[in-house]
Amino acid sequence: MDFHLKLVVPSDPRFLSIARHVVSEVSAICGLPDEARQGVTLALDEAVANVIRHAYKNRNDQEIELDCQANDERIVFRLLDEGEPPDPARICGQPLDDVSLSGRGTHLMRAIMDEMSYKQTSGKNELRLVKNLPRAQVSPAGG
Amino acid sequence: MQRTMAASTRSAGEITIVDLVGQIDLGSSPALRKTLLNSLKTTNHMAINLGGVSYIDSSGIASLVEVLKEAQNTKKRLVLFGVGGAVFQVLQLTRLTGIFEIAQTEEQVLHG
């Protein structure tokens, strides 16, 4: 079963819980087990938080587009924003050799998701996060 | 499930216990940081109960780390307990399980 869902949230931390809820439910519909679902929710939360903090410099009046496209094999999440482009080094994630506080969000995304990539699309920043699904796990309608 | 974060403080002998409930994210972690640092000022031994925390992200973990560093700098003791699956998963993924003193239960904190 293929589906596409799109959500636009304000760049306001108060709306992170809404994004998490949507991602969690999408993951459940796609049949991800609980631990993987929690991980994907965390990864997307970190991604949206990074957009708020770094792309929009904590401005709460901007928009973040969360696009979810799923099929039997994978869920592809895309985050689009019109803020400042990220530092390529930050996208790569930092080594966790010490107790530094920065970069752990990106590290979490890389550790949890199967693919992570960035590009610019029509003047917007696009972060693409992919989670592969266990075989044939999309729940039937109404499930 | 509580969506927002709430914190309450109590004492058990010389130990200050901060009970946290709800979800800790970019929106609530600044308030968490402030609450914990303020509580730490008034005690030499603080225990943070994470049993009611249903979600925490890296900003929440960063707040805990910052409080830990302050505790270490001021020669105070900080213990976490009630570290459930969701919180422990994030601590593991960020490779920070080893830097905190973690107890299983409040009983262990009080008598361990």
Fold of B6-111: Transcription Regulator spoIIAA (3.30.750)
| Alpha-carbon span A36 to A113, nearest angstrom | 9
CATH code of A90's domain: 3.30.565.10
Q: Is the pLDDT of residue B41 over 50?
A: yes
| Alpha-carbon span A41 to A26, nearest angstrom | 10
Q: Is the pLDDT of residue B92 over 50?
A: yes
- What's the domain count of chain A? 1
- Assigned token pair, A75: 């869920």
Residues in chain A with CB shorter than 8 Å from the CB of B94 are 96, 104, 107-108
Lowest mean pLDDT of A130-139, B7-16, B84-93, name the range. A130-139
Proportion of chain B above pLDDT 70, given as a percent: 97
Band of pLDDT at residue B20, cut at 50, 70 and 90: very high
In a domain, residue A142? The reply is no
| Alpha-carbon span B10 to A119, nearest angstrom | 49
In a domain, residue A140? The reply is no
Band of pLDDT at residue A21, cut at 50, 70 and 90: very high
Q: Point out the residue among A13, A39, A108 whose CB comes nearest to the CB of B27.
A: A13
In a domain, residue A138? The reply is no
Is B93 close to A111, i.e. CB distance below 8 A?
yes
The model carries a pTM of: 0.90
Q: Is the pLDDT of residue A143 over 70?
A: no
Is A49 close to B94, i.e. CB distance below 8 A?
no
Q: How far is CA A84 from the centre of its chain?
A: 18
Smallest CA-to-CA distance from A62 within A80, A45, A77, A47 is with A80
Band of pLDDT at residue B4, cut at 50, 70 and 90: confident
Q: Does B25 touch chain A (CB under 8 A)?
A: yes
In a domain, residue A126? The reply is yes
The pLDDT of residue A103 = 72
Q: Does A74 touch chain B (CB under 8 A)?
A: no
Residue-number span of the structural domain to which A111 is assigned: 3-132
Residues in chain B with CB shorter than 8 Å from the CB of A12 are 27
Burial B88-105 (b: 16+ CB within 10 A, else e): ebbbebbebeebbebbee
Residues in chain B with CB shorter than 8 Å from the CB of A33 are none
Model pLDDT for residues B42-67, shown as the tens digit of each residue:
999 999 999 999 999 999 999 999 99
- Assigned token pair, A56: 């929009």
Say how many CB pairs under 8 Å bridge A and B.
61
Q: Point out the residue among B28, B66, B94 whose CB comes nearest to the CB of A107.
A: B94
In a domain, residue A110? The reply is yes
Q: Point out the residue among B26, B89, B95 whose CB comes nearest to the CB of A49.
A: B26
The pLDDT of residue B53 = 96
The domain locations on chain B are 6-111
In a domain, residue A137? The reply is no
Minimum CA–CA partner of B95 in chain A: A96
In a domain, residue A72? The reply is yes
Among left, alpha and beta (phi > 0; psi -120 to 50; other), residue A57 is: left
In a domain, residue A101? The reply is yes
Is A104 close to B3, i.e. CB distance below 8 A?
no
